[in-house]
Structure 1
């Protein structure tokens, strides 16, 4: 089981645990503000834009070409931007910290 820490734009901090699924699914199940996942997790809307903590970014699998293209359309993109629907819980390092972009 992985522990994931979400930080919202209002600086609310949520420490959650999960065994599988995506970060978007975990956030939606726990009503994390700013993670909408309008497309249901198929990488076509970018309403689950997050910033991965720099200490953890390189520990995750690289973003796909489609994910990078979706991020190009987003405001507030950083070098550590990802779409939560594309990051799997099982790939997350223990104590992963993500900040909700919206």
Structure 2
């Protein structure tokens, strides 16, 4: 089964199974990953599911919408490969992907 690794700011790693078609945010919430707040429930309206995607995987996460770019623009910990986990639809093509959580969510 395909999986992704989510690394908390402090370094704790969580390997979670991909459920194709679900967002990375929903998978993180379903697996009780600390550091993913998901306040808006995946509506791309709050920025509390910010993840920093490993460089090698960023292009595979899809296009960033204008709405997502605006939300990410408000976070002080934005990186070149920042995404909102609610906007990353998982698939087997993401098997092995690694994402890092920032110290704080907005």
TM-score normalised by the chain length of structure 2: 0.90
| Residue of structure 2 equivalent to 1:84 | 85
RMSD: 1.3
**Unaligned stretches of 5+ residues in structure 2:** none
| Residue of structure 2 equivalent to 1:17 | 17
* Greater Cα offset, 92-101 or 30-39: 92-101
Misfit runs of 4+, over 6 Å: none
| Residue of structure 2 equivalent to 1:8 | 8
Cα distance in 2 between the residues matched to 1:27 and 1:92: 18
**Unaligned stretches of 5+ residues in structure 1:** none
How far has the Cα of 1:91 moved from its partner? 7.1
TM-score normalised by the chain length of structure 1: 0.93
1:14-52 C-alpha deviation (Å, 9 max, x unpaired) = 111122310100111111111010000000000000000
Normalized per residue, the structure richer in strand is 1
Cα distance in 2 between the residues matched to 1:34 and 1:96: 18
1:61 matches 2:62: yes
How far has the Cα of 1:69 moved from its partner? 0.5
Q: What is the aligned length?
A: 102
